[in-house]
Amino acid sequence: MLRTYLNQGLFNTTATLNTDSVHAATTVPTAFASAPAGCMTWETLLPDGPATCLLPIRNITALNATAISTQTWRIWPCPEAIIPTVWWAWRCGWLSKTACRTGRHPGIYGETTESLCPGLRFRTGSRQRGKKAESFIQTKYLDDALSDFSGYIAADELYDGPFCVLFIVDNHKFRRLYYEVLDHNPNNEDITRFFQRFKQILDSHVLQLFGITTDGSPLYPEPIGTVFGQVEHQICEFHIIKEIIMVILKAIAQARKRLKRQKTRCSRGRPSGTKAIQAARKNKRIQSKVANLFENRYLFVKHSLTAREKNILQGVTRGLPPMRALRAIMDEVYCLFDRRCRMDTALEKLAHLRRRIRRFRGLARTLKKLFSPNLEKSLTFLDDSLLPATSNAVERVNRRHRKMQKSIYRVRTREHISQRIAVDMQRDVYIVRQNCTIRMLHRSRTGIMRKAG
């Protein structure tokens, strides 16, 4: 970078540069020539004597100036620029990387000439960040994440258009350990290969797996038994309870439909006659009961009820014994997942509950989920205090990925999705260190403020 400083007491001229040559703007002679020297010397003949300027261009010097201006070395990469010059011994500075046109220096003390010589190309952004992150995840990140491995993981699949992302997360530390992006819907063979690769990683780090938590998908039981053997398999408690809640709400909807069918068809307009008035009153009572069931349907599935909510539920279910049975069944389902009891006790309670449901023939067909083997697997955590009952760790990762879909990228390919996940995992490492730094600075500043106070 050549920086020219103007002086208000001197006379100025302007020279025009192009890509071919440089000519003097006035009759003030200048000259350029070659001589064995370390840099280029620009010598200008002034009224009081010659003025010399040094430029960092090797092996070019100037002899004594004559009255003829000759062509210079082609050093200006821009098509055209106008540079104010001053006939004085200039002060100049050099910048190794310049790639811009001439820009005006702020103030009244001169002009800034930029891009005298093209610099080297910047390497910033020349390599995608996702590729670096993938190599980091496979080496340093994995070693750091497995250094305090808890032995309990959660696995789940996430569908992203035509792609599917498989995740394995430490169910205690909430850290992503391994992932894979597929271009098709997974099957048992894909899940088996996915678990086999993760088992090889555990074996290379001399680690052991004690338990794995998944949702109720049929993709996992067979591969888990094939790869990990007799490892405890826990079905997520939240997924099982969610399915039972949906079944209970479906039974309530069926009860509302049965009540609506009890209405008497009446003619339009104001009812006339005793029978028409009685039929209208009956339809009004039924419609009120249907509306109360709909508005208070959450009371049938809520975990615990207050005294006021129990009174409301008592009034809503008046004359509907099966509806009261639904609430009692839901209470017993919640009691199954109480950590204060063992798995054998919970299985006995479940057997008693199933016998009770069979007595209600109408409800038995609707509440088929209570006879699913997944409900028994969801009680495995009762015999292991360290085995998490839910797969909340991997579900949190899924929610983070869904948010990233909306805010970070739009065009999705298999490689792009894999790289974005790697960048996000790398960011988790930096956030932990950043939070430690912030807490340290906060403590130090708090101590300084207390001393000052």
12-61 pLDDT per residue, tens: 444 444 444 444 444 444 444 444 444 555 555 555 555 555 555 554 44
Query: Residue 301 gets which letter from DSSP?
Result: T
Query: What is the rounded distance in angstroms from the CA atom of residue 159 to the CA atom of residue 398?
Result: 10
pLDDT of residue 53: 54
CA dist., res. 110 & res. 133, Å (int)? 46
Pairing relation of β-strands 152-160 and 211-214? Answer: parallel
- The DSSP bridge partners found for residue 143 are none
Mean pLDDT of the chain: 76
Instruction: Say what the pLDDT of residue 87 is.
Output: 44
- Are residues 114 and 97 in contact, defined by beta-carbon separation less than 8 angstroms? no
Reported as a pLDDT band with limits 50, 70 and 90, residue 212 is very high
Between CA 173 and CA 138 the distance in angstroms is 19
274-295 vs 237-261: helix crossing angle, rounded to 10: 170
Residues in a beta bridge with 82? 16
pLDDT band, residue 321 (cuts 50/70/90): confident
Identify whether the C-beta of residue 36 lies closer than 8 Å to the C-beta of residue 43.
no
Listed residue (179, 210, 215) closest to 197, CA to CA: 179
330 — pLDDT class (breaks 50, 70, 90): very high
Q: 152 with 208: CB under 8 angstroms? A: no
> What pLDDT was estimated at residue 138?
75
Percent of the chain with pLDDT over 90: 38
Residue 65 is predicted with a pLDDT of 46
Asked whether residue 154 carries a pLDDT value surpassing 90, the answer given is: yes
- Segment 257-277 mean pLDDT: 84
Q: What is the pLDDT of residue 311?
A: 93
Mean pLDDT of 253-268: 87
Question: Quick one: pLDDT band at residue 403, thresholds 50, 70, 90?
Answer: confident
Query: Could you give the CA distance from residue 142 to residue 251 in angstroms, rounded to a whole number?
Result: 48
Task: Read off φ and ψ for residue 396, nearest 5 degrees.
Answer: -65, -40
- State pTM to two decimals: 0.65
What's the pLDDT at 390? Answer: 92
How many CB atoms sit inside 10 A of residue 56's CB? 13
Q: Given this model, what pLDDT does residue 214 score?
A: 94
> How does DSSP assign 265-284, residue by residue?
P--SSS--SHHHHHHHHHHH
Q: Return the percentage of the chain with pLDDT > 70, whole number.
A: 69
Question: How many C-beta atoms lie closer than 10 Å to residue 127's C-beta?
Answer: 9
Q: Which residues contact 131 (CB under 8 A, 6 or more apart)?
A: 419
- Write the pLDDT tens digit of every residue in 343-368: 999 999 999 999 988 888 777 788 88
